Amino acid sequence: MDRFTRTRVLFGDDLQKFKNAKILLLGVGGVGSFCLDCLYRNGVQDITIVDFDTYDVTNQNRQMWSELHEGEVKVDALKEHYPSLHPINARIDAAWVEAFDFEPYDLVLDAIDDTKAKLALAQKCYKKLISSFGSAKRIDPTKVQVADIWKSYGDKFGSKIRYELRKRKFNKKYKVIFSSEQAQVKEKGSFMGVTATFGLTMCAEALKVLRKK
């Protein structure tokens, strides 16, 4: 018996694929922190996380461990809970994406909200990319879906990404997590039931890809 006993019952020999995987997770907020926790609990150990932010009190409605680390750098605080993490404290913008080497990673999981960085990610590493669209302003987790970028709908943020990609003559496919629910408010309110669902769905999609390798 070990902490992966029940995971092994469900996934069998694929558990070793999870343990051997090398994952890059960009953003560890309301979506990314739950994705991280899900990956780690299912055997993925080699995870590099990138974020520049610190925890504040407003994170505590939706971000894993935030209530324990107010004022601390997110990536450093998370290493206390997931010791095998490789933390990078950096702001992810288009310039960072252009300079970073994505080649060593099996998957790139995008849980950031910077439009230009998302566009740069799609163009540079779409073959190994799973990207999250807008999870804020929504209250219905049953509306969260997975599709290729061109089949996503119902999300203004996603619509902007598709528009900008078309302007760049980009027509490749990659997976996105999105909600078909219309925004309930104009301000950036958030409900953990939805943001966590985005993160857990991202984790499930990542494990699905790893099982096929």
Token pair of 86 as six digits? 């490789």
Query: Rounded to an integer, what is the distance from CA 172 to the centroid of its chain?
Result: 20
Kindly give the confidence (pLDDT) of every residue in the chain, 213 residues in length, as a single tens digit, with 9 standing for 90 and above.
Answer: 899 999 999 999 999 999 999 999 999 999 999 999 999 999 999 999 999 999 999 999 999 999 999 999 999 999 999 999 999 999 999 999 999 999 999 999 999 999 999 999 999 999 999 999 999 999 999 999 999 999 999 989 999 999 999 999 999 999 999 999 999 998 889 999 999 999 999 999 999 999 998
Under a CB-based contact definition with an 8 Å cutoff, are residues 128 and 212 in contact? no
Distance CA 111, CA 151 (A): 19
Token pair of 167 as six digits? 């302007």
How does DSSP classify residue 29? Answer: S
Distance CA 142, CA 47 (A): 28
Distance CA 125, CA 24 (A): 12
Cβ-Cβ contacts under 8 Å for 209 (sequence gap 6 or more): 106, 107, 130
Cβ-Cβ contacts under 8 Å for 53 (sequence gap 6 or more): 29, 73, 74
Please name which of 191, 173, 210 lies closest in space to residue 38, comparing C-alpha atoms.
210
Please report the pLDDT score of residue 119 as a whole number. 98
Please report the pLDDT score of residue 109 as a whole number. 98
Domain 5-212 sits in CATH at: 3.40.50.720
Distance CA 140, CA 193 (A): 8
Q: What is the pLDDT of residues 120-155, one digit of tens each?
A: 999 999 999 999 999 999 999 999 999 999 999 998
**SS3 assignment for 93-123:** CHHHHHHCCCCCCCEEEECCCCHHHHHHHHH
Cβ-Cβ contacts under 8 Å for 134 (sequence gap 6 or more): 113, 155, 156, 157, 158, 178, 179, 183
Please name which of 90, 84, 86, 80 lies closest in space to residue 112, comparing C-alpha atoms.
90
Please report the pLDDT score of residue 100 as a whole number. 98
Please report the pLDDT score of residue 55 as a whole number. 97
How does DSSP classify residue 187? Answer: S
Ordered by start, the domain boundaries in the chain are 5-212
pTM of the predicted protein model: 0.96
Please report the pLDDT score of residue 188 as a whole number. 86
CB-neighbour burial class of residue 12 (10 A; exposed 0-12, middle 13-18, buried 19+): exposed
